[in-house]
Amino acid sequence: MFFFDSTFFLLILPALALSMFAQYRVKSAYNKYSTVRSAKGYRGVDVARELLQSSGVYDVRVEPTHGMLTDHYDPRSRVVRLSEGVYNSSSLAALGIAAHEVGHAVQHNVGYVPLGLRSALVPVSGFGSKLAMPLIFIGLLLAEGAGSIGLVLAQVGILLYCAAVVFTLITLPVEFNASARAIELLSENRFLTADEVSPTKRVLNAAALTYVAATITAIMSLIRLILIVNRRR
């Protein structure tokens, strides 16, 4: 069966387990350190604005957004959006997350190459991820009767899926670099005491694990699809 063959249990289940563990880690770290207030009492919005200024980024706004852990930097609108639990909070988790999003804005400002590549891949990755699985599924069905035509469709689907995999791979250096910039900026601008650096890093490292898990899941899925299509040749 296409969905529950041996490759699913060997490749996909472990990747899904890692993804679930990563989600648990990020929520656990956030819940723990969102209750630990920073010694100096700065809010996430204050930190974000100060770090943007100190980094020479003057054309990026900081705005609140709804939801939990919905923080992001929008390069098109030049806006850092902070979730409700970060914008007005002075917790270590809030400071780390706010600084991380500023890290993306700084990346954009200095022309960080991986960020530019990821932004360029967004439409290609979105297009590929939507069409890949239907093409592969239809191709495998047609391969039973139409032979080579079905295999060609399935192979096209795999190529499209590759774009999504490349997107997740490029995301890794973008996210790790933003976190490194965040800790550096927070330390340089003395928003954190020496004892607060390690807990803040734990929050960002837990978030980074979710991107690692997403990349591993994408790679394992690609390997599985290639194996399935090759069996139909």
Q: pLDDT digit string (tens) for 46-82?
A: 999 999 999 999 999 999 999 999 999 999 999 999 9
In a domain, 3, yes or no: no
Query: What number of other Cβ atoms are within 10 A of residue 145's Cβ?
Result: 8
In a domain, 206, yes or no: yes
pLDDT of residue 1: 47
In a domain, 133, yes or no: yes
In a domain, 9, yes or no: no
Q: Which residues contact 42 (CB under 8 A, 6 or more apart)?
A: 50, 90, 95, 191
Regions of the chain with pLDDT less than 70: 1-4, 144-147, 233
Contacts 24+ apart (CB under 8 A), 178-184: 178/100, 178/101, 178/103, 178/104, 178/107, 179/100, 179/103, 179/204, 179/205, 179/207, 179/208, 180/103, 181/99, 181/102, 181/103, 181/106, 181/107, 182/96, 182/99, 182/100, 182/102, 182/103, 183/96, 183/99
Catalytic one of 50, 63, 101, 175: 101
pLDDT of residue 3: 59
Q: Is 101 a residue of the active site?
A: yes
pLDDT of residue 127: 86
The number of domains in the chain is 1
pTM (predicted TM-score): 0.91
Helical H runs in 55-147? 84-87, 92-110, 113-143
In a domain, 8, yes or no: no
In a domain, 102, yes or no: yes
For 100, 149, 172, 224, the CA distances from 207, given in Å and listed in that order, are 10, 43, 11, 26
pLDDT of residue 233: 67
Q: Which domain holds residue 194?
A: 14-231
pLDDT of residue 229: 87
